[in-house]
Amino acid sequence: MNGVLGNPSGFTVLLYADGVLAGGVIPGSSLGALNGSLDPAASGTYTFTPAANLTLS
């Protein structure tokens, strides 16, 4: 993730299934939310973990 401008907050990561249009232009159904830093202001690698049991194939 790159650094940000300003003072962001309330960052959320959500995973969605592939959308109905070719290439997933529109998100499909929600697969789950990931928990992690709410304010990732500095560039770097961030780790986000599933809020509930989530298995991807």
Which residues span the domain enclosing 21? Answer: 1-45
pLDDT at 21: 67
What is the arrangement of strands in the sheet containing 13-16, beginning at the earlier edge strand?
Answer: 13-16, 30-35, 49-50
Of residues 56 and 21, more confidently modeled: 56
Looking at the domain assignment, is residue 5 inside a domain?
Answer: yes
Percentage of the residues of the chain whose pLDDT score is greater than 70: 86
Looking at the domain assignment, is residue 38 inside a domain?
Answer: yes
Calpha distance 57→54 (Å, rounded): 10
Looking at the domain assignment, is residue 1 inside a domain?
Answer: yes
pLDDT, averaged across the chain:
78
Looking at the domain assignment, is residue 55 inside a domain?
Answer: no
Of residues 10 and 35, more confidently modeled: 35
Pairing outcome for strands 30-35 and 13-16: antiparallel
Looking at the domain assignment, is residue 56 inside a domain?
Answer: no
Looking at the domain assignment, is residue 51 inside a domain?
Answer: no
Looking at the domain assignment, is residue 8 inside a domain?
Answer: yes
Calpha distance 13→19 (Å, rounded): 17
Quick one: pLDDT band at residue 22, thresholds 50, 70, 90? Answer: low
Number of domains in the chain: 1
pTM of the model as a whole: 0.59
